[in-house]
Chains A and B, each alone.
Chain A
Amino acid sequence: AQTVTQSQPEMSVQEAETVTLSCTYDTSESDYYLFWYKQPPSRQMILVIRQEAYKQQNATENRFSVNFQKAAKSFSLKISDSQLGDAAMYFCAYKIYSGGGADGLTFGKGTHLIIQP
């Protein structure tokens, strides 16, 4: 079974600084998706960034970027120029590419990100 591990229960960063959240996963598959979701206090899950395993180029979305190391099964999220609105729980998630199956995402336990003003 696939597992996703987030080893940092909580991280704290000063506003405007850069922070990196770690994620590792375990799978025997070669085709899959990886995601980072953000859950603010409102509790609604919001997609931050996604990465297809077949793509070697790391995904970026404005201030958010990932470091995808397929061989090491590592998928870290870097947040640059941290803002107060970035404070939230961040979940790393994995999904096998099943070509049409309805397999859900497998989530890590989350990292609580605190932004210090």
Chain B
Amino acid sequence: SQTIHQWPATLVQPVGSPLSLECTVEGTSNPNLYWYRQAAGRGLQLLFYSVGIGQISSEVPQNLSASRPQDRQFILSSKKLLLSDSGFYLCAWSSRPGHPSDGELFFGEGSRLTVL
């Protein structure tokens, strides 16, 4: 069965410090990968998605970047965090067309980032 894990679960960082959130998927190959941010009362906002190694699409301009160094690894980074980067970050994966779960997103446990 497929599993997705992201870490760390909780992170408290000072303004101006770097960030690295990591996400890995097991039990599937060549998944689509996604990073979402969830702010209070605002639902989930898609930040980045990737269809393959080294292929990253950004949905919104921001202080963050994403990378996919391996097929099932997705990393969210920042060189200098801002207060506005605080939030709950969710990694997700989806299967390729033709799979019965086509269209569905499978989410990780989430990472709570607090920037002070």
* Residues of chain A at the chain B interface (Cβ within 8 Å): 9, 33, 35, 42-47, 50, 52, 91, 95, 97, 99-100, 102-110
Q: Are B105 and A104 in contact (CB under 8 A)?
A: yes
Contacts of A97 in B (CB 8 A): 103
Q: Are A44 and B43 in contact (CB under 8 A)?
A: no
Given A44-B110, A109-B43, A104 contacting B34 (CB threshold 8 A) = yes
- The size of the chain B interface, using a CB distance under 8 A, is 28
The 30 sampled A-B contact pairs (Cβ below 8 Å) are A33-B103, A33-B104, A35-B103, A42-B109, A43-B110, A43-B112, A44-B107, A44-B109, A44-B110, A45-B90, A45-B105, A46-B107, A47-B105, A50-B103, A91-B43, A102-B32, A102-B34, A102-B51, A102-B57, A102-B94, A104-B34, A104-B36, A105-B44, A105-B46, A106-B46, A107-B43, A107-B44, A108-B43, A109-B41, A109-B42
- Looking at chain A's contact residues, the main secondary structure is loop
Which of these, B42, B97, B103, B107, contacts A45 with CB under 8 Å?
Answer: B107
A63 to B112, CA, bound (A): 31
* Residues of chain B at the chain A interface (Cβ within 8 Å): 32, 34, 36, 41-44, 46, 49-51, 57, 59, 88, 90, 92, 94, 96-97, 103-110, 112
Which of these, A44, A95, A103, contacts B108 with CB under 8 Å?
Answer: A44
Distance of B95 from chain A, by nearest CB (Å): 11
Which of these, A43, A50, A108, contacts B104 with CB under 8 Å?
Answer: A50
